[in-house]
Every structure is written in C-alpha cells, then in structure tokens.
Structure 1
Amino acid sequence: MKSSPQKLLILFGLYIIFETTDYDPKIIQELRKIENVPLNCEPVINGSENPKIMDRLKQWTHHFDFYEDKLMEAEDLCSTIHQYFHFTNKSNTQEELDFPLSYGWVVYKDFVQILLQMSILYQPQHLFCLTVDKTALKEYRRVLLELPKCFPNVHVFIGASSDWGSFGILENVYTCFLFLSRQKHEWKYYQYVSGTDLPMKTNLEMVRIFKALNGSINADVDNYEMDRKKRRWQQEPPIPLYKSSMSVAIPREAANYIIKSKKVAKLLRYLSKTWIPDESFWTSISGSPAILPVPGSFRAKDIIWFRKNFRIPESDEKTTEFIGTSYIGRYQLWQYHRNCHGILTSESCVYGVGDIEEIVTRPELVAHKFYLSVQPAAYLCLLKEIRKRTTDPQNQLFDAKSYAEMPTVEMKNGKGVLELTHPDWLTASSFYNPEYHPIDNSKFV
C-alpha cells in the first residue's frame, strides 16, 4: 500500500523526535498513542472568544487512516493496538474495582474510533461485548474478531444486518445484552453505547453515579408512535409500548429478570415486525411494573401523564450538581435545539469544537455523536479531558448525590409522580415532541 505525503510527514516527525531526543522508552511509547498527539485543548474545554483560535481548531485534522492501515496490516494485532491506543491494565481505585460494569456495542465501521472509545471506557474488571453487523467489510470483521485475543474481557459476535429502522439493530443489541447477563461475572450495571458516542465521565464518576441510581433503570420515556406498528397494527402488544433511546443503564438484578421473562421474549417477537423496534424496547419493558415487575422499573405512564397535565418550564441548569433531567443515558442535540457547532446529519448534531465546553459540564454519561471526519479536535479534546480527569486527585472528590434525586430513582424507591423532589426534571424526553418543545418554525432557514 502506497504511503501518502501526509503519512510520510507523520513518520518523519516521529523519526526526528525519536532520533534527536534522549527520551525514556516508556515516554516514547506514550508519544505514539493517538490520544497524545499535540493539540491545544484548553480553548476547546474552557471556551475561547478568539475566533481565530477556534477556527484553527475547527480546521485541525489528523490522518486516522494511517492507524487503520497499521491495524489492518498488523501481523501482531495486540501489540499494534497497544502501540497506538492507551488501555489501562489496572483499576485506579478499590472503589472502581469493587463496582465492575458491562458495555454493549453494535458496530460496522470506523475501527479507529471504536478502539479510541473502548480505550477510554476500558477497565480490566469490566465486561465488554461487540456485535458486528454482518454487512461490515470482511477485513473489518476479521480484525474485530481478533480482539478477544488481546483482551480476555472483550467478546465479539457477528450479528444481523442492522439497517436503520430494521429489527436487526435490536437483535444485535440484545445478542450482547443476553450474553453479558448470562456470564458469571459480578458487573453491577449494563450500558449500551453507540460507536459514535464518547464518554462524558471518568470511570470513577460512572461508578458513583450508578451507585446513586440505587438499582433503578435509567431509560428515556416518550409516547409510542402508533404508525410504527406496521404489520402489527391489529395485534395488541404483550405489554404497553413506549418510545425510548437505545442508550440505557440497566442494573444487574433487572438484567437477570429480563432475560428469563416470557413476556420480554413475546415482546421481542412482536417488535420484530414493527418499524424502528430499537426505540420501542427498553422503556416498554421497564415502564409498567404492575404488568412486568422488572427490578428498578418505574411507571412510565405517570411521566407521560405529568407532562401532559403540568406545563412546568424545563430546567435551564443541567450539571452534575443539579441534574435537571430524568434521563442521563445519552446527551444528543437535535436540529430544533439550534446550537450545534458541528454539522447536522439526519437532524442530529455531529459535535464540533464549540460544543465541548458545555458537554464537559453536563450530567449525562455519554455524548452522541462524533465523527473523526468532522472537527476531530472535538473528539480528541474530550477524550484527553476524560483521561486527564481520570488521573487527577480532584476526581476523588466527585459527588453524585444529585443523581439520587432524579425522578426515576425516587419513583423506583416508592415516590409518586406528585411527590418528587424535582418534578421539573421530568418535563422533556431526548426526542423532539412539539407538545413539549414548542418552537418558532419561522426561524429555520
């Protein structure tokens, strides 16, 4: 494979550094890693009013295809991964070691981005599962199937075709969820993450947040759109249907119940003939405890009722000290928000460098979505910030007590919807709904 001038420039730069500087070998190894590329992230993390600085960061690029080629051509994949990606081999604290987590992905492209994302989430005590879309390129599938040789706590399956709107997405998600739930591993919470997500929290912060959730399920809640029933429109579902994001946090006790439930199995069969079933699963199984008593569940119909009958303004403040929302599984910007600093694809924001200042202060667990082809400084600066916080002693002071006041946590603990500490945190889902998000459409151009 021919090397481009840009790749040669990267190699020449590394050669100059290594040949002219008396570095410790360990430092040289760290300099090779993608997340350590020279990049001034201070204006991205803290914001800058200097348009020239921000424009330069918007235009900053890096040749990620160089690393993908290295991975695809590697004779020893594991050593190549460790050469360019930082995977920790020990837990930072006993608290984290005692609270292992599990993660599930559905992936089909962008191998470098997947490894960067996995590297920042990775802990040896965690359990990971990837389902690879069967339509992914043969070489992509081959490399991913080798990951378990490098990481014994990573498991990879080849799944169904996951075209948008098809059952294949939910089927692939559930493949990993089922596998993770059947393992004799003491993980405490499961999280689904998309390949275009990036964590907004360190592992220690995640652990303390999940402890504050206290065994409750965190899922988005919205009305089910009846036109999605398609061929099932004359057939009643086994349980009431609600709309929700695929990004979810499920406690282990709930997972153990879900995989053994006959009603859940019936729901999966029912949803297999519907449209966009991946947005009809998690809250449907966790939102009707009287019908399906999943541990950690809540009454979704009470949340829908509250929104329709109480027009309380949505909280403007959304931070780790004042959560301001009932859903923390994913932070996603839609076109109607009108403050995307990257680009819009399918009405959803692909974040740019101007979005990161807010993202680092918000309460959600992951940010969706990033492309390494769109203002990659945004992605790398957020990754660098999370890595920096991971080793910062100040991170030990992180307090997740506000998460215990989230509506679904209090509802799981027995509070009614009118008894909540922060009822205004219920006022919106992550989806656009004109009933709850009135906007002036004349502003759109």
Structure 2
Amino acid sequence: MSQLDAAKSGFILCIGVCIFIFSLIYMKYSIMKDPNEQKFVPELIECGFYPDEICSALFEGKSAAPRVGNFCQEALPQLTAEGPSFLQNSVNCSRVIKEQYFITSPLSDEEANFPLAYIITIHKELHMFVKLLRAIYAPQNFYCIHVDEKSPNTYKFSVQNLVSCFKNIFLSSKRENVVYAGFSRLQADINCMKDLVNPKFNWKYVINLCGQDYPLKTNREIIQYLKRKWNGLNVTPGVLQPEHMKHRTQVSYKEFVNVGVSYVYPTSRRKTPPPHNITLYFGTAYYMLTRQFANFILRDQRATDLLEWSKDTFSPDEHYWITLNRIPDAPGATPEAQWEGNIRAIKWREQEGSTHHGCNGHYVRDICIYGLGDLQWIIETPHIFANKFEPIKYPLVTECLERRFRLKVLQQAEIRLQPEWQLQMASYFDMKMNTGT
C-alpha cells in the first residue's frame, strides 16, 4: 500500500470514529437535556432510594424531575400483593413500632386533649394500609379496623399481627362479607361504631376511612378544623336526594356473594317509603361524626328503623349518615348543610375538565388511582384525605406523599422529637418546605 493510500485509509477511519463519538454525544444529550424540556419517564426515576429532589419537582408540577445518580429497575423496592414481609410471621412489636416510624407520644397538648376515633375498612393493598395507619396514628386516638371476611387468611393474619402491637388499635368484633355498593359496607361501619362507643374510649369525633385513603392534613390540623369550622357539629357532605338517584331506594336490591364474585343487583319489588316520614338525602359515604351523634345512630328508633329499611337499597352508606344528620333534633345536626366539608379528594372520571384535568394514573370504577402527575393537584386540594392509591403500581406517589406529610407533622410538634419518627433526615426537600418554595 502506498503512503498516499495509507493516509487516505487513516483519514477515513478517523472520520468514522468521529461520527460514532458525536452520535453517542448526541444520544446522551437527547436523554439528558434540560429537565424543563424532557418528558417525565417514570421508569427512569422509579428505582433505588427516591431522592427528595424528585418529589419536590413533582409537587411543583414540573413535567420532568431532575435525575439524581444512576437509576435501575432492579433496585426498585419490591412491593408484593402479600404485603410487607415483616407481618407474615410472628412480630417483635417494639421493633415494628420503631422500624415502621410510628409516633409514640402526643405531639401537643391540643392533640392530647382532643382524641379522635377512626373506622378503617380494608380488604386488600396491605402496603397501603400500613402507610395509612402510620400516617394517622397517635397514641391518644382509637382505631377500629374492619377486615373483609372474604379476605385471604394470610391477609387477616398480617393485619392481626400489626394490630396486636397497639393497645388503642383493635379489629372489629364482627366481620362482614363486604360487597361494593351493598348494605354490608354500611354494616361494617356500624359494627365498628358499636365497638367504639364503649365508655373506655374517650374520643370526640369518629372518622371513617378505607384502606386506600391517605391524609393530607395532620392530626393537629384536623382537630383545629373541627374546632374552628364545625364546633360540635357533624360533617356529612350532601344534598336532597336527586331525581337520578332515587332508583337506589325505590326498588329492592340484593347482594350476591360467591367465590371471587360479589355484586348488588336490582329486583322487581318496589320499596315502601322510608320510616317515620324521613326525607332522604344523598351524599358522600365518608363522615366526621361527634360521639353524641354516634350514640344517637345506635339508639334512636328513627335511626335503627332507617338502618333496617336500608338493608335492600343500593349503596345505603351514601344516604344513611347524611339523612340522619339532617334531622333537626339529632345531636350536632346540620339540617341546612350541603356539600361543604372537604373530607375526601377524589378525581371522578365524569368531573374531568371541571374539578380536575384528568387522571395521570388509571381509573377504577370511574375513580382515579393517582399517578405521578397527580401529586401537585393532591397537595393543592383543600380536602383532609385523598382517595385512591396503589403503592404497588405507583410506588413513588405514596413515597413522596409520606415524606412530605411526616415532615409537616414533625414541624408542628411541640415536644422533643425522637429520631425513629423521621422518615428521612433534613434534606433538600425539607429546606424547600421550610422556605415555602
């Protein structure tokens, strides 16, 4: 080969190498370009130990979160349908309480002097139940847990393991085979309410939740809201029963329960009018009720007769509580109230374009299971709780909410904090909250 040919070959090889290198640089730039221009790719983010910078970006509604370090799908925490592994065998309670970050002292005198009660109905998503309980737990409060009778025995065993570590948490004395939109869902709440009115539990208000809820307000904020806004009144958002809802109470419905299948279906039998000439209302199934009203529900003849009449209606928990709370002589009644209350933030499919701009996760029964793009909307809503979450499918959503919520709880405390109460040490995310940015 001549010297000229060798020079040409070397030149061509040099050009090829340069093109290859520049191609790699271009590809890297395309992936790592300015976060404000990059579309958020969850699979690049959701692995390893979640950086607080990512959560902050999501809460601020940015379309892309900053990438911190290297991410790999294999490092993503493995959440299984069976639930946390520490609950699947006998538990060391002191270790569980410490390692699961449960707060073990009232954080202020105000909270110590205003105990709350909770009714929580669960049947799946054990990881979410642990996160919810950890968030709302306070040693001065009381918690009745209703586990669906249809739940697997392994699930019931795990819940029992966790509950057994606390004196102020207990399982409902009677379990129901809960059917969606059936009377059994209302009966589950009634069962827990009967347990909670025991004189040894000195709570002021009772709040009902499901296992896929998460709080947006701290225990102290809830108490201040009840004192300031309601002052001994019940919170049952809703209105007079609309025409398009009257079919729910005009014909008789039945529950069907079989292995793996349960539903409510209408029959041809017409129902009689409600007892005692009671006017029916329609609203949310979730409430914040005074202890006096809980006693009224369990003892007043009108309430017990309405409960019996409601056994064959569709989704009776959406008319029962609110209807009784509109009776003028009921304790803490609000006869003129409507939708005020802000108990539960929900993205309904039918409300896209009005109360929200779409679900960034996916819909189940027309309710949004929150995705990453919903975090800004969640923290900006004035509601006390949000629904629904699935940490197995969208782990970063609940991870970010937990971190933000616990920081807010500890910042409001008036006592000496214990290190094991902190989900993470002071960080960039902590500073962002303190500066209000």
Task: Specify if TM > 0.5.
Answer: yes
Q: How far apart, CA to CA, are the structure 1 residues paired with 2:65 and 2:404? A: 22
Q: 1:219 aligns with which of 206, 226, 236?
A: 236
Q: Does 1:39 align with 2:59?
A: no
Give 1:42-441 correspondences, 5 Å limit.
42-50=56-64, 61-65=76-80, 68=83, 70-76=85-91, 78-79=93-94, 81-82=96-97, 84-157=99-172, 158-212=174-228, 213-224=230-241, 225-229=245-249, 230-231=251-252, 233-238=270-275, 239-289=278-328, 293-299=329-335, 303=338, 326-338=340-352, 339=357, 340-393=359-412
Change over 3 Å in CA distance of 1:53–1:334 after alignment to 2: farther
- Per-residue deviation at 1:394? 9.3
Which residue identity is paired with 1:262? Q
Change over 3 Å in CA distance of 1:351–1:71 after alignment to 2: same
Contact 1:61 1:375 survives alignment (8 Å): no
Which residue identity is paired with 1:93? S
Q: How far apart, CA to CA, are the structure 2 residues paired with 1:95 and 1:198? A: 22
- Per-residue deviation at 1:256? 2.4
Task: Give the count of matched residue pairs.
Answer: 334
1:80-108 CA-to-partner distances (Å, cap 9, x unmatched) read: 63364211110111111111100001111
1:116-139 CA-to-partner distances (Å, cap 9, x unmatched) read: 100110000000001111100011
Q: How far apart, CA to CA, are the structure 1 residues paired with 2:240 and 2:86? A: 44
Q: Which of the two has higher C-alpha Rg?
A: 2
Identify the residue that residue 436 of structure 1 maps to in structure 2. Answer: none
User: Unaligned regions of 5+ residues in structure 2, if any?
Assistant: 1-47, 253-268, 416-437
Q: How far apart, CA to CA, are the structure 2 residues paired with 1:83 and 1:156? A: 22
Q: How far apart, CA to CA, are the structure 1 residues paired with 2:105 and 2:82? A: 25
Which residue identity is paired with 1:297? A
Contact 2:236 2:321 survives alignment (8 Å): yes
Q: How far apart, CA to CA, are the structure 2 residues paired with 1:204 and 1:95? A: 8
Change over 3 Å in CA distance of 1:76–1:365 after alignment to 2: same
User: Unaligned regions of 5+ residues in structure 1, if any?
Assistant: 1-35, 304-324, 397-445
Contact 2:82 2:126 survives alignment (8 Å): no
Identify the residue that residue 441 of structure 1 maps to in structure 2. Answer: none
Residue 117 of structure 2: SS of its match in structure 1? strand
Which residue identity is paired with 2:177? S
Change over 3 Å in CA distance of 1:247–1:107 after alignment to 2: same
- Per-residue deviation at 1:204? 1.1
- Per-residue deviation at 1:73? 3.2
Q: How far apart, CA to CA, are the structure 1 residues paired with 2:347 and 2:67? A: 24
RMSD (CA atoms): 2.7
- Per-residue deviation at 1:270? 0.6
- Per-residue deviation at 1:266? 0.6
Percent identity at matched positions?
A: 24
Identify the residue that residue 419 of structure 2 maps to in structure 1. Answer: none
Residue 350 of structure 2: SS of its match in structure 1? helix
1:178-200 CA-to-partner distances (Å, cap 9, x unmatched) read: 21123432211110011110000
Contact 1:127 1:153 survives alignment (8 Å): yes
1:378-426 CA-to-partner distances (Å, cap 9, x unmatched) read: 1121121110001115999xxxxxxxxxxxxxxxxxxxxxxxxxxxxxx
| Structure holding more strand per residue | 2
Residue 118 of structure 2: SS of its match in structure 1? strand
Residue 356 of structure 1: SS of its match in structure 2? helix
1:192-225 CA-to-partner distances (Å, cap 9, x unmatched) read: 0111100001111111111112011111213432
Q: How far apart, CA to CA, are the structure 1 residues paired with 2:304 and 2:209? A: 23
Change over 3 Å in CA distance of 1:393–1:248 after alignment to 2: closer
